[in-house]
Chain A
Amino acid sequence: MTRLAHAVAATLAFIVVSLFALPAWSLPRFALREGVPCSTCHVNPSGGGMRNAYGRYVYGPTRLPLGFPGSRERAPQLDLGDTLAFGADARTAYIDQRPKTGEGLRTFFQMQADLYVAARVFDGLTLYYDQGAYGSFEAIALYQKPLTDWASVYVKAGRFMPTYGLRLENHNLWIRQDIGYGPRDKEQGVEVGAQIAPFLVQVGLLNGVPGERQLDDNKGKAFVARVEALGRLGPLRLMFGGSYYRNQTGVKSDASGKTVDGRSNLWRAGLFGGASLGRFTYLAEADLVRLEPFSANKTDSKSYSFQSHQELDVLVVRGLELTFNFEYREPDLDTKSGSMRRVALGFEVYPMPNLELKALYRHVWGKGPASRSLDGLSEYIAMAHVFF
């Protein structure tokens, strides 16, 4: 396949993604604002998905909502003793897409509907299942062992989203879906992590077959590694880290997970970080992806793409947050087929515990043939998120 064909395929994939994947905003800002790891509030040490008891009963209801005096809304208490716990996330959005030319799209979209159950088999061992909308699921056996107050280790096996970069809930950011971390890009394998404060080191061995396929039909496996340092310096919270993903024997898919002819090597690397001071939180990530299809002449067919994301969140009062996002993407650094910039402005309100409302405006500027179809695209998005 020629580089131009790759560029066209990537652009088509991007358009599909833009039409049917909606933002869910990011939550690593909570971890950064507090200066604590995702596992403080989530069952999964990599963050996302079901919240643990602290997230559900302490942080969520006391730190997120506006907190009208006298209101005593509370989380549904569906736990069965200390053995079984349940949770859910449901996000419903209304999106109004207005391209520069052609027909727009105005539609409701159930972007997320996940039901979670976590079963504590014995102290340290948890079985976790997440049934998502549209057939997506995660199933994990997780063993966690605290070593000291500042060190712990875990082993995770099953089907899950591989760790990488900032686990932003907004899965159609260019640093997520475009590099193969869309909502359905779950993989099967094993992940080992060690938390030695302030560092979190995670290493995974995976099938390297994201998506719906259950079995790996090639001999190689994917390797993923992520290192994060997260800590406090007085009132300042700082985070810095890097990620690496390599699927050497590859799969029949491109960087966005779309099936293409021939196998390919895939390589992703990125840096991320952020800082938080009081009501201000800044997050950033930049990723480089190399896709190398198998062909007679490998050198010619390599393609590199670059994605970056920056985000500034301003917590006006408890429960009301403003967000400013800037994304930059170059789909093919070799052919210089184009570049895109996307700016998002919006706000988020938690009027009461377990309810989040969002409004967002996004606009895309594109340059070059690979980006022409998206140039001028404006999006107005409203979303309601119920969670417990």
Chain B
Amino acid sequence: MRIEWMVAAATLSSAAAAMLPACSTPQPASPSSPSGAEASDGKRLYEQRCATCHGIHGDGRGPTAHVYGSPAPRDFTRGLYEFRTTDAGKLPVRADLVRTIGQGIPGTTMPAWRSLLSPREIEAIAQYIESFSPRFAAEPESARAPIAIPPEPPPPSATDLEVGRMFYFTFRCWECHGVYGEGDGPAAATLADEWKRPIRPADLTRGVYKSGATGADLYRTIATGLDGTPMPTFRLAVVVGKEGLADLGKHIDKLDPAIRAKVTAFVQTLPTDEQIFALSDPDRAKFGERRLWLLTGYVKSLAHRGVFDWLSHDPSAP
């Protein structure tokens, strides 16, 4: 049902996608590409630092891979990457790999290598990782345009947060992440990744986000989704009218009736597909961005760390 909904949402918004302006936000300057010698350095560094988890062949089956359990190390051979600035289903750009290697993946055992490796070393490792999947050779980086991440708006008002909360229910984030963002939604227990391994949705109250904790990081994660996991892309799905949002999903009966009534009433206040498609391309793009920022602001507001969280936090963890 969830997949059906995603397909329906994607279909509804496909026309909008075609009309959205081409996104070509300039990426942060990355170090120049490694030379041949540095590429072999990438192999050496990968085998030394990464292979114990990700495997000597990049298949995610290194000797330490199973020890920590979930989440399993990434299998690079499939060319499926969670953390990207590119659209769902696309390969990441080099800068995405460099960013993930550099900042690590908080909440997992993937460390932040920027404290130990130079930018050129990280770049060399990223280049070597690309060699594990033939997709990188087949799909040149120039064909993978990063999405636009607009400037972060001022901190959300109480009204913005309430609207963001309604979108959290309307776009069914709660089905996996739970009513209060604790990762305990009605669909949480059934989730599996592309490798058929059980996977848990993020507990958004912890304030630990795998792809970074800034507003732009969360926006990017929500917009592009996490390939290889059930987390879908919302970049296009949010550009949809109230017709496409009327079906609140099979789990809606599990939602508190008061919240359900509020969400149902909220959907009725939303513009129709016709009204959205009547917008100019730039306005439609801004419309989608506004919704994504409202959702992002609400998701960010779910994080709260009490004394117990401080006490039970392992400060050595990535």
Compute how far the CA of A71 lies from the CA of B53 in the bound complex, rounded to whole angstroms: 24
Which residue of A63, A67, A72, A232 is within 8 Å of B69 (Cβ)? A232
Compute how far the CA of A272 lies from the CA of B113 in the bound complex, rounded to whole angstroms: 36
Compute how far the CA of A82 lies from the CA of B51 in the bound complex, rounded to whole angstroms: 12
Compute how far the CA of A149 lies from the CA of B53 in the bound complex, rounded to whole angstroms: 12
Q: Check: A262 CB closer than 8 A to any chain B CB.
A: no
Inside 8 A of B115's CB, which chain A residues have their CB? 62, 67, 69-72
Compute how far the CA of A70 lies from the CA of B116 in the bound complex, rounded to whole angstroms: 8
Compute how far the CA of A33 lies from the CA of B47 in the bound complex, rounded to whole angstroms: 26
Q: A61-B116, A72-B116, A318-B316 are in contact. Are A279 and B311 (CB under 8 A)?
A: yes
Please name the residue on chain A nearest to B65 by beta carbon: A149
Q: Check: A315 CB closer than 8 A to any chain B CB.
A: yes
Tell me whether A149 and B66 are in contact (CB under 8 A): yes
Q: Check: A259 CB closer than 8 A to any chain B CB.
A: no
Compute how far the CA of A353 lies from the CA of B318 in the bound complex, rounded to whole angstroms: 16
The secondary-structure label for the interface of chain A is loop
Give residues of chain A (232-255) contacting chain B, Cβ–Cβ below 8 Å: 232, 235
How close is B163's CB to chain A, nearest CB, in angstroms? Answer: 33
Q: Check: A17 CB closer than 8 A to any chain B CB.
A: no
Please name the residue on chain B nearest to A235 by beta carbon: B312
- Segment at the B interface, from A52-60, A96-104, A282-290, A366-374: A52-60
Tell me whether A77 and B48 are in contact (CB under 8 A): yes
Please name the residue on chain B nearest to A315 by beta carbon: B315
Q: Check: B313 CB closer than 8 A to any chain A CB.
A: yes
Tell me whether B116 and A74 are in contact (CB under 8 A): yes
Inside 8 A of A58's CB, which chain B residues have their CB? 49, 52-53, 64, 111
Please name the residue on chain B nearest to A82 by beta carbon: B47
How close is A98's CB to chain B, nearest CB, in angstroms? Answer: 34
Tell me whether A57 and B67 are in contact (CB under 8 A): no
Inside 8 A of B311's CB, which chain A residues have their CB? 277-280
Q: A72-B117, A72-B118, A277-B312 are in contact. Are A62 and B318 (CB under 8 A)?
A: yes
Q: Check: B314 CB closer than 8 A to any chain A CB.
A: yes
How close is B33's CB to chain A, nearest CB, in angstroms? Answer: 21
Give residues of chain A (135-181) contacting chain B, Cβ–Cβ below 8 Å: 146, 149-150
Tell me whether B47 and A62 are in contact (CB under 8 A): no
Q: A53-B48, A277-B311, A278-B314 are in contact. Are A36 and B67 (CB under 8 A)?
A: yes
Which residue of B47, B66, B112, B315 is within 8 Å of A150 (Cβ)? B66
Tell me whether A317 and B64 are in contact (CB under 8 A): no
Tell me whether A279 and B313 are in contact (CB under 8 A): yes
Q: A36-B67, A62-B318 are in contact. Are A278 and B313 (CB under 8 A)?
A: yes
Compute how far the CA of A315 lies from the CA of B310 in the bound complex, rounded to whole angstroms: 11
Q: Check: A37 CB closer than 8 A to any chain B CB.
A: yes
Q: Check: A222 CB closer than 8 A to any chain B CB.
A: no
Give residues of chain A (34-72) contacting chain B, Cβ–Cβ below 8 Å: 34, 36-37, 40, 52-54, 57-58, 61-64, 67, 69-72
Q: Check: A5 CB closer than 8 A to any chain B CB.
A: no
Q: Check: A316 CB closer than 8 A to any chain B CB.
A: yes
Q: A63-B111, A277-B311 are in contact. Are A57 and B48 (CB under 8 A)?
A: yes
Inside 8 A of A34's CB, which chain B residues have their CB? 68
Interface centre among B47, B69, B116, B311 (most CB of A within 10 A): B116
Inside 8 A of A61's CB, which chain B residues have their CB? 116
Compute how far the CA of A53 lies from the CA of B69 in the bound complex, rounded to whole angstroms: 19
Inside 8 A of A72's CB, which chain B residues have their CB? 115-118
Compute how far the CA of A63 lies from the CA of B68 in the bound complex, rounded to whole angstroms: 15
Please name the residue on chain A nearest to B51 by beta carbon: A53
Question: 0/1 per residue, A298-309, Cβ < 8 Å to B?
Answer: 000000000000
Tell me whether B316 and A53 are in contact (CB under 8 A): no
Question: 0/1 per residue, B116-140, Cβ < 8 Å to A?
Answer: 1110000000000000000000000
Tell me whether A62 and B66 are in contact (CB under 8 A): no
Tell me whether B52 and A353 are in contact (CB under 8 A): no
Inside 8 A of A77's CB, which chain B residues have their CB? 48
Inside 8 A of B316's CB, which chain A residues have their CB? 33, 63-64, 315, 318-319
Inside 8 A of B315's CB, which chain A residues have their CB? 279, 315-318
Question: 0/1 per residue, A87-120, Cβ < 8 Å to B?
Answer: 0000000000000000000000000000000000
Inside 8 A of B47's CB, which chain A residues have their CB? 82
Interface residues, chain A, CB within 8 Å of chain B? 33-34, 36-37, 40, 52-54, 57-58, 61-64, 67, 69-72, 74, 77, 79, 82, 146, 149-150, 232, 235, 277-280, 315-319, 353
- Given contacts A62-B116, A63-B316, A278-B312, could you give 10 more A-B pairs where the C-beta distance is less than 8 Å? A53-B52, A58-B52, A62-B115, A64-B316, A79-B48, A149-B65, A235-B312, A278-B314, A317-B315, A353-B116
| 26 A-B contacts (beta carbon < 8 Å) | A37-B67, A53-B51, A54-B53, A57-B48, A58-B53, A58-B64, A58-B111, A62-B112, A62-B113, A62-B116, A63-B316, A63-B317, A64-B316, A72-B116, A74-B116, A146-B63, A149-B65, A235-B312, A279-B311, A279-B312, A279-B314, A279-B315, A315-B314, A315-B315, A315-B316, A318-B316
- What are the 7 tightest A-B residue pairs by CB atom distance, in nearest-first order? A62-B111, A278-B312, A149-B66, A54-B52, A318-B316, A63-B316, A278-B313
